Amino acid sequence: MNICIFGDSIAWGAYDPEHGGWGNRLRNYFEAQNKDINIYNLSISGDTTTDLLDRLEAEVKSREPNIVIFAIGINDAQSVTDANSTRISIDEFKNNLKKLHRTAHKFADEIIFIGLTSADELKMKSIFSSFYTNQNIKYLDTEIKKFCEENNARFISMDGIIDTYDLDDGLHPNTEGHKKMFDKIRPEIETLLDK
């Protein structure tokens, strides 16, 4: 059984020095269970859905996954010029979701999208030159959920999972935040494995 995780710095495990993020916790959990499950975390810090599309097919094809997990979109929501703009336009974002799903579905039977985590806007403004608004994040998160409902893909919501004190820099979950994400994601993956 092969599982591929594709995402950004949050999926990669940034700011969890103890356990390497929710994806690494997932790998460690299944290894401790002595299950024959290979988890490949192919996330790249800073990636948008557009960036991921450029490399997705080659990455998926070489690993032949049974399950593909997408944890992507927070960088698409980044405000570049003003609070209402997004780095990736909404039309491009929707189109990218379709392409990601279609490409992954060529190789994997199960496709999962992880919902976007909220941000602490005040903390971020003192750290980042660009910024992320919860309004934009929620908007794209809603689009991911809607896409999953319309395309028979599993959606794991992160709504209400992360509190502001779980965010190291206002955007990235700290060790406790990653643990909360893992605790939400793990049983959903196990449900699929038990089918």
Predicted pLDDT of residue 123: 86
Dump pLDDT digits (tens) for 89-148.
999 999 999 999 999 999 999 999 999 999 998 888 777 666 888 999 999 999 999 999
| Percentage of residues of the chain with pLDDT beyond 70 | 95
170 touches 118 (CB < 8 A): no
CA angle 41-147-97, nearest 5°? Answer: 50
Per-residue pLDDT for 153 more than 70? yes
pTM: 0.95
Predicted pLDDT of residue 137: 95
DSSP the chain: -EEEEEESHHHHTTT-TTT-HHHHHHHHHHHHTT---EEEE---TT--HHHHHHHHHHHHHHH--SEEEEE--TTTT-BSSSTT--SS-HHHHHHHHHHHHHHHHTT-SEEEEEPPPP--HHHHHTT-SSB--HHHHHHHHHHHHHHHHHTT-EEE--TTT--GGGBSSSSSB-HHHHHHHHHHHHHHHHHHHT-
Per-residue pLDDT for 161 more than 80? yes
Token pair for 81: 């010029």
Predicted pLDDT of residue 145: 98
Predicted pLDDT of residue 195: 73
